[in-house]
Amino acid sequence: MVSNILKWVAGGLEGFLGIPILGGTIIVSLLWAPLFIMLALHIVGLVFASSEGTDKTGHILGIVTSVVGFIPFVGMIMHIVTAVFLLMEAAKNK
Protein backbone atom coordinates (compact mmCIF):
# COMPACT_ATOMS: atom_id res chain seq x y z
CA MET A 1 0.00 0.00 0.00
CA VAL A 2 2.74 2.46 0.97
CA SER A 3 4.81 1.52 -2.09
CA ASN A 4 1.83 2.25 -4.33
CA ILE A 5 1.43 5.73 -2.85
CA LEU A 6 5.16 6.34 -3.27
CA LYS A 7 4.90 5.26 -6.91
CA TRP A 8 2.10 7.78 -7.57
CA VAL A 9 4.05 10.58 -5.88
CA ALA A 10 7.39 9.73 -7.47
CA GLY A 11 5.76 9.24 -10.88
CA GLY A 12 4.12 12.64 -10.70
CA LEU A 13 7.32 14.35 -9.63
CA GLU A 14 9.33 12.58 -12.33
CA GLY A 15 6.78 13.65 -14.92
CA PHE A 16 7.00 17.24 -13.70
CA LEU A 17 10.80 17.20 -13.86
CA GLY A 18 10.58 15.76 -17.39
CA ILE A 19 8.75 18.81 -18.75
CA PRO A 20 11.08 20.40 -21.32
CA ILE A 21 12.77 23.63 -20.21
CA LEU A 22 10.70 23.92 -17.00
CA GLY A 23 12.06 20.75 -15.37
CA GLY A 24 15.63 21.55 -16.36
CA THR A 25 15.33 25.11 -15.12
CA ILE A 26 14.05 23.95 -11.75
CA ILE A 27 16.80 21.35 -11.39
CA VAL A 28 19.60 23.75 -12.36
CA SER A 29 18.26 26.69 -10.34
CA LEU A 30 18.09 24.53 -7.20
CA LEU A 31 21.64 23.26 -7.83
CA TRP A 32 20.58 19.70 -8.62
CA ALA A 33 18.94 19.24 -5.19
CA PRO A 34 15.77 17.77 -6.79
CA LEU A 35 17.90 14.93 -8.19
CA PHE A 36 19.20 14.10 -4.71
CA ILE A 37 15.69 14.32 -3.25
CA MET A 38 14.34 12.03 -5.96
CA LEU A 39 17.22 9.62 -5.39
CA ALA A 40 16.29 9.38 -1.71
CA LEU A 41 12.60 8.98 -2.59
CA HIS A 42 13.37 6.15 -5.01
CA ILE A 43 15.58 4.37 -2.49
CA VAL A 44 12.82 4.55 0.13
CA GLY A 45 10.28 3.43 -2.47
CA LEU A 46 12.51 0.51 -3.46
CA VAL A 47 12.75 -0.62 0.15
CA PHE A 48 8.96 -0.51 0.55
CA ALA A 49 8.38 -2.22 -2.80
CA SER A 50 10.78 -4.99 -1.82
CA SER A 51 9.12 -5.52 1.54
CA GLU A 52 5.61 -5.51 0.03
CA GLY A 53 6.55 -7.69 -2.94
CA THR A 54 5.44 -5.22 -5.63
CA ASP A 55 7.22 -4.24 -8.84
CA LYS A 56 10.60 -2.59 -8.29
CA THR A 57 11.41 -1.64 -11.90
CA GLY A 58 10.17 1.95 -11.69
CA HIS A 59 12.17 2.78 -8.58
CA ILE A 60 15.31 1.12 -9.95
CA LEU A 61 14.89 3.14 -13.13
CA GLY A 62 14.34 6.23 -10.97
CA ILE A 63 17.64 5.67 -9.19
CA VAL A 64 19.41 5.47 -12.55
CA THR A 65 17.57 8.61 -13.68
CA SER A 66 18.68 10.51 -10.58
CA VAL A 67 22.28 9.58 -11.29
CA VAL A 68 22.28 10.57 -14.98
CA GLY A 69 19.67 13.33 -14.68
CA PHE A 70 22.24 16.11 -14.86
CA ILE A 71 22.90 15.37 -18.55
CA PRO A 72 20.63 17.84 -20.42
CA PHE A 73 18.54 15.84 -22.92
CA VAL A 74 19.24 12.40 -21.50
CA GLY A 75 17.89 13.52 -18.13
CA MET A 76 14.66 14.86 -19.61
CA ILE A 77 13.99 11.65 -21.53
CA MET A 78 14.86 9.51 -18.52
CA HIS A 79 12.50 11.50 -16.27
CA ILE A 80 9.65 10.98 -18.72
CA VAL A 81 10.35 7.25 -19.15
CA THR A 82 10.63 6.77 -15.39
CA ALA A 83 7.36 8.64 -14.83
CA VAL A 84 5.58 6.37 -17.31
CA PHE A 85 6.96 3.22 -15.66
CA LEU A 86 6.08 4.37 -12.14
CA LEU A 87 2.58 5.50 -13.03
CA MET A 88 1.86 2.29 -14.96
CA GLU A 89 3.08 0.20 -12.00
CA ALA A 90 0.99 2.24 -9.58
CA ALA A 91 -2.13 1.87 -11.74
CA LYS A 92 -1.53 -1.87 -12.13
CA ASN A 93 -1.19 -2.42 -8.37
CA LYS A 94 -4.46 -0.63 -7.66
Tens digit of each residue's pLDDT (9 = 90 or more) over 10-61: 999 999 999 999 999 999 999 999 999 999 999 999 999 999 999 999 999 9
Q: Are 15 and 80 in contact (CB under 8 A)?
A: yes
pTM: 0.93
DSSP string, 15-49: HHHTSTTHHHHHHHHTTTHHHHHHHHHHHHHHHHH
- Model pLDDT, residue 64: 97
